[in-house]
Structure 1
């Protein structure tokens, strides 16, 4: 199965045009950065720790947004039979998956830059923050692709994406206020990224291991779902 650069470029341009007309997905990429900006400016000084809000909403942006955006975009094309038309042409499934995943990743990272203006980070910390955001985005995109491959339409995709997004993105926030939830949340990649972003005190090898296990498990889930729900069938 060969991957053509021209095909990827064409698919990428298509994703840009489609997203420009899909306000639900477009707004989603800006939701958490804007909320973080408002909360940091209004309450950050009173709490004396702006990193608190950045770690919460940064993780939501890097984890929740890619899950919902990827599954929503993919299921919409399945529902409108656009995906079937693409795959009946010269586009193979891998080219499509790379294009939609790459597009969501780029949008997440570009809008994620807005968080850098809120935290007063040093250049090194900026790189660390964006690196953590990128890791979370990649893992979440894999989950979003699995949901999009499985769901028959947008309603079904959103019904699955929202609970998974809340588990991986909202549990880290709840863990800050409840130790029992924290004992469960620490086994999710979202929590590990949240801890890293909030403390910025170097890499925890336990966190790396947990994140890697999450990634491997979700890759396996995606492969199984993809094979059972072939996009080119």
Structure 2
């Protein structure tokens, strides 16, 4: 059984750590500010909307999560947490809950201020929630490899570049066929799903894209749990 009390305790501790670290907490406003800027200048393409949304995932879900884990390691408190009565699910769930809430808030306001109005908000919501799980797991994984918040900031940069601007790689697929593999990245699948939704596609029409994103989520969670448990016995 998962103890909600333990998860809540971890959540409250993370919130206090997050609010004290201005360098990390201020990053969550960047996608929102960019969304407001894009909305005011009239940029209304689907690709620009999802560049902002994927940027929000990279900056909040991955970067913030990575820094929260790295800060625990830097302060030598992660080891104590691992050796506490809390289970792996409680620790990773509690450590991810704050990031998930902030990610949903930032993605919502980024899309709202950028004036993105999806044709089917239910499908987009499901895809966004699924995608957030992947980015949070990726952030956790990078945090487990980081020794400090500074190192975490460096490690997360490739994630920011690939998943925020990776959609531009698809424009060169015809010239460089090897880049076709990039079309299966979760950020690209999210854009393809959104494109289908705008043409009137229903839930059944986007099952392939959702399945690919889900596959990334499952793979990233499994890898994160494996690495986490290896760190427990290091």
Alignment TM-score, normalising by the size of structure 2? 0.82
Aligned counterpart for 1:196 among listed residues 193, 196, 200 = 193
- Superposed, 1:1-233 pairs within 5 Å as 2-44=1-43, 49-114=44-109, 115-119=111-115, 121=117, 125-172=120-167, 174-175=168-169, 177-180=171-174, 183-198=180-195, 200-201=197-198, 202=201, 203-230=205-232
Contact 2:169 2:182 (C-alpha < 8 Å) held by counterparts: yes
Task: Return 5+ residue gaps in structure 2 as ranges.
Answer: none
Task: Return 5+ residue gaps in structure 1 as ranges.
Answer: none
Shift of 1:207: 1.8
C-alpha distance in structure 2 between counterparts of 1:222 and 1:87, whole Å: 14
Contact 2:60 2:103 (C-alpha < 8 Å) held by counterparts: yes
- Count of matched residue positions in the alignment of Structure 1 and Structure 2: 225
C-alpha distance in structure 2 between counterparts of 1:120 and 1:102, whole Å: 26
Q: Greater CA deviation, 176-185 or 100-109?
A: 176-185
Shift of 1:87: 4.1
Q: Cα RMSD (Å) of the superposition?
A: 2.6
Contact 1:150 1:226 (C-alpha < 8 Å) held by counterparts: no
| 1:110-164 Cα distance to aligned partner (Å, 9 max, x none) | 1222113433526x63333333221111111111111222323223333322213
Q: Greater CA deviation, 201-210 or 32-41?
A: 201-210
